[in-house]
Structure 1
Amino acid sequence: MMETNSEWIVKLFKTYRDTKYVYMLLEVCLGGELWTTLRDRGHFDDYTARFYVACVLEGLEYLHRKHIVYRDLKPENCLLTNTGYLKLVDFGFAKKLASGRKTWTFCGTPEYVSPEIILNKGIYICELMLGRPPFQASDPMKTYTLILKGVDALEIPNRRIGKTATALVKKLCRDNPGERLGSGSGGVNDIRKHRWFMGFDWEGLRSRALKAPIL
């Protein structure tokens, strides 16, 4: 985290340690976890989900330019500032890779598990709009079984997720990593061009001129 310098990443100023613990001095984010707001509201509407997914895309694109793989995207790891903008935190599973290298570690949160962060984006959209992850069961092994059945087994759309958002989720969650939207040469820009983001003010987001849906 100390290698990062981005408006989309929580700043780590310094670390300390004693004989028992390691302490981290982090930038304060007074809005708390996005997950807390999601829990209180039950689910987000289309605009709110789109805004926070856009924030995540900006953060992940920055990390990828730094050759950092995040690997634990979920609402609990997204903090809100006092203006309602999102920042990524918790780099416990993050890894820095040389260009062209892959990572093979099995890690992350069960409902989101995948070695590719692109699939996680699709699951993240579902959780924001449904109020729960799409792949969810009573224990981790059953959750992994659901994941292996693939995105086509998911019962979407429903009244909370429209056809356009569903189409994006399915493109992000293809079984073959090479077929997932964003995995090609266009990268994150291919996701930005999807119909779900049609008319979204990306420049307003980057300049913080766009009003956040949660304050």
Structure 2
Amino acid sequence: MAAKIHQMLHHHSSSKDSGAPSEPDSTSPFERQDSAMDRAREDEKRALAQWEDKQRPMSPGEVHMDPERKAVGHSSRTLRKQDFELIKTLGTGTFARVWLVRLLDDRKGAQDSVFALKILRKVDVIRLKQVEHVRNERNVLAAVAGHPFITTMVASFQDHDSLYMLLDYCPGGEVFSYLRRARRFNEPTSQFYAAEIVLILEYLHEKEGVAYRDLKPENILIDAEGHLKLVDFGFAKKVENRETYTLCGTPEYLAPEVIRNTGHGTAVDWWAFGILVYEFLVGQPPFWDQNPMKIYEQIVEGRLRFPSAMSSSARDLISGLCTVDTSKRLGNIQGGAQAVKSHPWFANIDWDQLYQRKVQGPIVPHLRGPADTRNFDEYEPESGEREAYGEELRAKWEGFFDDF
């Protein structure tokens, strides 16, 4: 895109009339640049209006491409907040708000082009010391954009005050809500969701060297077709073969090595995955107490208790994943994710068909249209009081947001 704009800025047409001198170009360089930017912006909006029609599962190799060469995951220099109609808040955090938005465009079908727009105010990100987390999130989402079971960051952009991540909208809402209503999932439903998560972890760990670090039902959404999408990459970090020491995550899902602060890597996600499978099948995680310190004691001890109704293969899988010794933990031992995929509990899964999204999901949400928000809670409107992102902050921090 940048090359295209560059080309347009430096292309001068000349008159081909028989020997007639060419008319001098009366437009200023700034006007020509504005015109080129406007055309680039229109091109980007046209692509967004057609984005839903072009979605397909990319191969792991295609997902792994440089984000600036992919159809998704790039940093846009032309998109603006004004290109979207803010419809409803889908979620809030301490320094971010996610909106359901509609593309403002007159083209046919554009009224159905809805997205989730994550808006992060720069001053809040700085004040809450989240600059590094936000940069990690944006860059990991760019790297993994196009994976069939990870929320797709279509593009990122920024203005003077805020950072924006334009994401695909998952109208089904959180898996957590369905699990609470059902109390627990049956084995085939649990296997389907667990298998899609295995494919996510396999890609994050083995292609990108990324530890996700916050796997739980609240961070897994269901899309319009009944497939999972992993969201909220605020704790995700590219660790590769190194260890990191930041304490982050949700108490019931923390791995023992995080609690002990002995250094951790991608193995933490396989532990959390074991906890998640247990919660799918039982309706609650295996380690729980009102007091988080008691939860930590139970986790470090690592003694699992299984209900008698749970199948022996499910017990074996969970026991292998929730192993305190990381050198013996399933998913982290030789074979990596393939050892998990080969476990008898997943014997009925066709992994290729699953990756291609050709297997019917067990829960397909009933929707009134692309912008249906019935599966999301209501939120208080934003406070009107805002700290200004002044010149002093801008001079110190603006360079950190260049990736957006």
SS, match of residue 165 in structure 2: strand
Distance change (3 Å), C-alpha of 1:198 and 1:15: same
Could you give the per-residue CA deviations for residues 46-67 of structure 1, whole angstroms, max 9, x where no partner exists? Answer: 0001100111111111111111
Could you give the per-residue CA deviations for residues 168-197 of structure 1, whole angstroms, max 9, x where no partner exists? Answer: 100111110010111123000001111101
Q: Cα distance, 1:24 vs. partner?
A: 3.0
Distance change (3 Å), C-alpha of 1:128 and 1:178: same
SS, match of residue 24 in structure 1: strand
Structure 1 segment 185-204 matched on structure 2, within 5 A:
185-204=334-353
CA distance in 2, matches of 1:41, 1:205: 24
**Are residue 39 (structure 1) and residue 206 (structure 2) matched?**
no
Instruction: Name the aligned partner's letter for residue 167 of structure 1.
Output: D
Could you give the per-residue CA deviations for residues 22-75 of structure 1, whole angstroms, max 9, x where no partner exists? Answer: 443211011111111111111100000110011111111111111111011011
CA distance in 1, matches of 2:324, 2:209: 24
**Are residue 123 (structure 1) and residue 263 (structure 2) matched?**
no
Structure 1 segment 1-215 matched on structure 2, within 5 A:
1-5=141-145, 6-12=147-153, 13-16=155-158, 19=161, 22-64=163-205, 65-97=207-239, 99-114=240-255, 115=264, 116-150=268-302, 153-159=303-309, 161-215=310-364
Distance change (3 Å), C-alpha of 1:100 and 1:204: same
Structure 2: where are the runs of 5+ without partners?
A: 1-140, 256-263, 365-404
Structure 1 contact 157–166 (Cα < 8 Å) conserved: no
Structure 1: where are the runs of 5+ without partners?
A: none
CA distance in 1, matches of 2:163, 2:285: 32
Kindly tell me the number of residue pairs found equivalent between the two proteins.
210
Structure 1 contact 71–108 (Cα < 8 Å) conserved: yes
Instruction: Name the aligned partner's letter for residue 199 of structure 2.
Output: E
CA distance in 2, matches of 1:17, 1:119: 39
2:105 — aligned with what?
A: none
SS, match of residue 2 in structure 1: helix
SS, match of residue 14 in structure 1: strand
Higher relative CO (CA 8 A, sep ≥ 6), structure 1 or 2?
Answer: 1
Which structure is larger by alpha-carbon Rg, 1 or 2?
2
Superposition CA RMSD, Å? 1.5
CA distance in 2, matches of 1:171, 1:134: 14
SS, match of residue 28 in structure 1: coil
CA distance in 2, matches of 1:200, 1:106: 35
Q: Cα distance, 1:16 vs. partner?
A: 3.9
Q: Cα distance, 1:17 vs. partner?
A: 5.8
Identity within the alignment, %: 40
Structure 1 contact 55–86 (Cα < 8 Å) conserved: yes
SS, match of residue 221 in structure 2: strand
CA distance in 2, matches of 1:93, 1:14: 18
